[in-house]
């Protein structure tokens, strides 16, 4: 009995530790995003050149994500996450040091590569904890990422308002976040490979199951990227609102997503992943329709809020489904992560190119159409039976994130 209690305590402690790592990961993203204008000025790049450079984080992530499984197999899940989250937090410093376009692209490629590998490792550990608890936690973990991003953004906004040098800001932020991340990793599950387990390939294409699950994530992240980058522009250009109201729309969208993710696990536990995503898709489609037909800022802002509510829990559920989709959860999670990162990369530019050829309203018709995919294909997220894994089982379980 005491052993079971100890195991339960260990899993619960690991849940909070992984949640802290998610928050650290988000805080790095928020810290970087708010200082992009400073980084652009320091590197002396034009808006077009900056657009090219900002594609490199997603490129770096896509290349590096499949490597996360072999790293975890070699060093163990805990040590791998500790090392990868440290590389990610420390890489925050690199973009602000870049003096020109070439070094900025290299810095952002490294920044994205470390982000992607840490992303895979922490999501895989989150899925393992969820399986052991026997209830949904992935939505809440991603909610912690959003909360961390908001904290990082707030600190970055304050630093920018005070006119601080981004190099100093990012050195201090990286130091604090590295310490928090490393300390948090002390309490995550220490999964080790079985003695007779062969190491995963260093690089491999994702399984078919991950492609199907990733397609759902693609639709959700496309809508997220389009809304984050274009909601303010939509209100400014289509509805001629003030800059402040337009910015408030983007903030509202982000807050809606964060709140929905933090509350999403209870909904998933009650209704299941498939019904939750189908209902979420309906909200996203309704939001898209409100955006497209809006002739008043309040209608468009309500549409973006519904869009955020509709897509908030989809990506966490995609990672959870990938982790249970086959014998190699590491590869499946990496595949889903790669697809979603790619969607986040192409969404803003695709919306911009379509808007230039037609209009922003037509661009959000595309977003609305993709949101229909959440309703149509939610069945691919149907989970297998969750099982509680004890300490004995853990010795032979696949430890890779």
Average pLDDT for the chain: 87
Ranges in the chain annotated CATH 1.20.1250.20: 1-187, 204-383
- Encode pLDDT of 134-167 as tens digits: 899 999 999 999 899 888 888 888 888 888 999 9
| Mean of pLDDT values over 55-71 | 87
- Encode pLDDT of 317-348 as tens digits: 999 998 887 667 777 888 898 888 888 878 87
Q: What pLDDT score does 198 carry?
A: 64
pLDDT exceeds cutoff 50 at 80: yes
Cα 261–Cα 262–Cα 263 angle in degrees, nearest 5: 90
> Cα separation of 11 and 396, whole Å?
17
pLDDT exceeds cutoff 50 at 5: yes
pLDDT exceeds cutoff 90 at 397: no
Confidence category of residue 201, pLDDT binned at 50, 70, 90? low
Q: What pLDDT score does 98 carry?
A: 96
Q: What pLDDT score does 2 carry?
A: 63
pLDDT exceeds cutoff 80 at 192: no
* Residue range 204-383, CATH number: 1.20.1250.20
> Are 156 and 33 spatial neighbours (Cβ–Cβ below 8 Å)?
yes
Confidence category of residue 361, pLDDT binned at 50, 70, 90? very high
CATH of 1-187, one of 3.40.50.150, 3.40.1390.10, 1.20.1250.20, 3.30.450.40: 1.20.1250.20
SS (H, E, C) the chain: CHHHHHHHHHHHHHHHHHHHHHHHHHHHHHHHHCCHHHHHHHHCCCHHHHHHHCCHHHHHHHHHHHHHHHHHHHHCHHHHHHHHHHHHHHHCHHHHHCCCHHHHHHHHHHHHHHHHHHHHHHHHHHHHHHHHHCCCCHHHHHHHHHHHHHHHHHHHHHHHHCCCCHHHHHHHHHHHHHHHHHHHHCCCCCCCCCCCCCCCCCCCCCCHHHHHHHHHHHHHHHHHHHHHHHHHHHHHHHCCCCHHHHHHHHHHHHHHHHHHHHHHHHHHHHHCHHHHHHHHHHHHHHHHHHHHHCCCHHHHHHHHHHHHHHHCCHHHHHHHHHHCCCCCHHHHHHHHHHHHHHHHHHHHHHHHHHHHHCCHHHHHHHHHHHHHHHHHCHHHHCCCCCCCCCHHHHCCCCCCC
In the block, tokens 């304050």 appear at 158
Q: Which residue has the higher pLDDT, 98 or 157?
A: 98
Model pTM score: 0.83
- Encode pLDDT of 267-278 as tens digits: 999 999 999 999
- Encode pLDDT of 385-395 as tens digits: 443 333 333 33
């Amino acid at each position: 009995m005491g052993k079971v209690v100890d195991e339960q305590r260990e899993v619960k402690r690991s849940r909070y530790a992984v949640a802290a790592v998610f928050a650290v990961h988000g805080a790095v993203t928020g810290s970087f995003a708010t200082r992009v204008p400073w980084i652009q000025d320091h590197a002396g790049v034009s808006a077009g050149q900056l657009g090219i450079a900002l594609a490199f984080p997603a490129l770096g992530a896509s290349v590096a994500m499949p490597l996360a499984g072999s790293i975890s197999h070699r060093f163990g899940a805990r040590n791998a996450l500790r090392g990868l989250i440290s590389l990610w937090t420390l890489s925050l410093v690199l973009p602000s040091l870049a003096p020109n376009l070439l070094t900025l692209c290299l810095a952002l490629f490294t920044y994205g590569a470390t982000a992607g590998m840490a992303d895979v490792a922490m999501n895989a550990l989150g899925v393992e904890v969820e399986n052991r608890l026997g209830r949904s936690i992935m939505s809440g973990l991603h909610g912690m990422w959003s909360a961390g991003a908001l904290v990082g953004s707030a600190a970055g906004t304050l630093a920018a308002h005070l006119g601080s040098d981004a190099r100093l800001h990012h050195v201090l932020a990286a130091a604090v976040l590295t310490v928090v991340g490393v300390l948090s990793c002390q309490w995550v599950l220490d999964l080790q490979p079985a003695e007779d387990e062969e190491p995963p390939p260093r690089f491999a294409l994702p399984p078919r199951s991950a492609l199907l699950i990733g397609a759902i994530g693609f639709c959700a992240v496309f809508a997220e990227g389009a809304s984050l980058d274009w909601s303010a522009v939509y209100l400014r250009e289509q509805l001629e609102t003030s800059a402040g109201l337009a910015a408030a729309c983007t903030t509202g969208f982000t807050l809606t997503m964060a709140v929905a993710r933090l509350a999403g696990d209870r909904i998933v536990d009650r209704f299941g992943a498939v019904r939750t995503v189908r209902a979420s898709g309906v909200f996203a489609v309704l939001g898209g329709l409100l955006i497209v037909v809006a002739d008043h800022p309040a209608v468009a802002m309500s549409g973006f809020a519904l869009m955020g509510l509709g897509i908030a829990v989809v990506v966490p559920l995609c990672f959870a489904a990938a982790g249970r989709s086959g014998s190699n959860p590491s590869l499946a999670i990496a595949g889903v992560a790669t697809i979603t990162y790619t969607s986040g990369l192409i969404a803003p530019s695709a919306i911009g190119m379509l808007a230039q050829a037609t209009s922003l309203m037509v661009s959000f018709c595309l977003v609305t159409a993709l949101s229909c995919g959440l309703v149509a294909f939610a069945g691919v997220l149907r989970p297998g039976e969750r099982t509680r894994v004890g300490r004995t089982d853990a010795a032979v379980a696949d430890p890779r994130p």
